Amino acid sequence: MTERLGKLASALLVASLALPRVSLAAAPEAAPVVAEASDEPSDASVRAALADGDLTLARERAVALREAEPTLEHFELEADVHAALGDHARTKRALRGALERVPEGDAAKREAIEDRLDEVIEQSRGAVADEPASSERERLDDERAERLAALHPPPPTLVPVDKPVAPPVPIVRKWYFWVTLTTIVGAAVAITAVAIDSNLDNGKSASRLPGNPASPSAGGLTLRF
């Protein structure tokens, strides 16, 4: 009786150990099917890769999906992946592709994509949304304007210069002063000469008269004016 119980316990132990082996061997058969289904690019597979943090896989699937079906939604999805990777150049390119596929009349959608594109352009220039605007771009623009101004300088402006006032010339250095003075002196000399000559003639005629004390015989010459 004891031997039968021992054999029964051994059989049960062997059976219990064999069951997990069968389940583990059958499990890998379903794994390749799931993997093949997840490798196909789709919106869900791209977003699943983004949620898992596998950005490289998300980019590959997003690019493959956009190349297979270049629709507005697939361009936007690709822009999301590139934005998560921090690739501003590819993000802008994907958003511009999305803008080209916005239906006519959908102004709200176009405005939303344009606003997003402006944000990416601003971020690519060094600005961050939650920080104040950077002044680096303004400084670069000012330096460029200064270089352009140096290449094309404005024409010089003529500044009027006050001429120095010449000091007054003394009157003794004027030609008309000496002409006038010479004329006056010459006239005075001429008048004096005429007066002397006239007095001499009068004296000669008077000396010839009898009883004239101023006669030459009296021994003297008298001038009269």
Q: What is the 3-state secondary structure (H, E, C) of the chain?
A: CHHHHHHHHHHHHHHHHHHHHHHHHHHHHCHHHHHHHHHCCCHHHHHHHHHHCCHHHHHHHHHHHHHHCCCHHHHHHHHHHHHHHCCHHHHHHHHHHHHHCCCCCCHHHHHHHHHHHHHHHHHHCCCCCCCCCCCHHHHHHHHHHHHHHHHCCCCCCCCCCCCCCCCCCCHHHCHHHHHHHHHHHHHHHHHHHHHHHHHHHHHHHHHCCCCCCCCHHHCCCCCCC
Q: Is residue 134 part of a domain?
A: no
Query: For residue 143, what pLDDT is reported?
Result: 82
41 and 124 in a single domain? The answer is yes
Q: Is 216 within the bounds of a domain?
A: no
Task: Tell me the pLDDT tens digit for each residue of 108-165.
Answer: 999 999 999 999 988 887 655 555 556 667 777 888 888 778 777 777 777 666 666 6
Q: Which residues contact 15 (CB under 8 A, 6 or more apart)?
A: none
Residue-range definition of the domain harbouring residue 100: 35-129
Q: What is the model's pLDDT at position 60?
A: 92
Average pLDDT over every residue of 16-45: 54
My answer on whether 123 and 185 are in the same domain is no
pLDDT score at 126: 61
| The one-letter amino acid at 151 | L
| 48 and 124 housed in the same domain | yes
Would you mind telling me the total number of residues written for the chain in this entry? Answer: 225
At 32 the pLDDT is: 43
Claim to verify: residue 116 and residue 57 sit in the same structural domain: yes
Average pLDDT of the segment spanning 167-173 = 76
Percent of the chain with pLDDT over 90: 22
* 166 lies in some domain: no
Judge whether 28 lies within some domain: no
Q: Does residue 63 share a domain with residue 119?
A: yes
CATH number assigned to the domain comprising residue 76: 1.25.40
Number of domains composing the chain:
2
Q: Is the domain of 182 the same as that of 122?
A: no
Up-side HSE of residue 156: CA atoms within 13 Å toward CB? 3
CA–CA–CA angle 94, 90, 66 (5° rounding): 45
**39 and 97 inside one domain:** yes
- The answer to whether residues 116 and 177 belong to one domain is no
More confident site: 131 or 46: 46
Which residue would you say has higher pLDDT here, 134 or 221?
Answer: 134
Let me know if residue 200 belongs to a domain.
yes
**88 contacts 120 by C-beta, under 8 angstroms:** yes
Q: What is the pTM of this model?
A: 0.42
Query: Is 30 inside a domain boundary?
Result: no
Q: How far apart are the C-alpha atoms of 28 and 31, rounded to whole Å?
A: 5
Asked if residue 195 is part of any domain, the answer here is yes
Residue 97's pLDDT is: 92
Q: Is the pLDDT of residue 31 over 50?
A: no
Between 217 and 194, the more confident residue is 194
Do 120 and 176 share a domain, yes or no? no
- Same domain for 99 and 49: yes
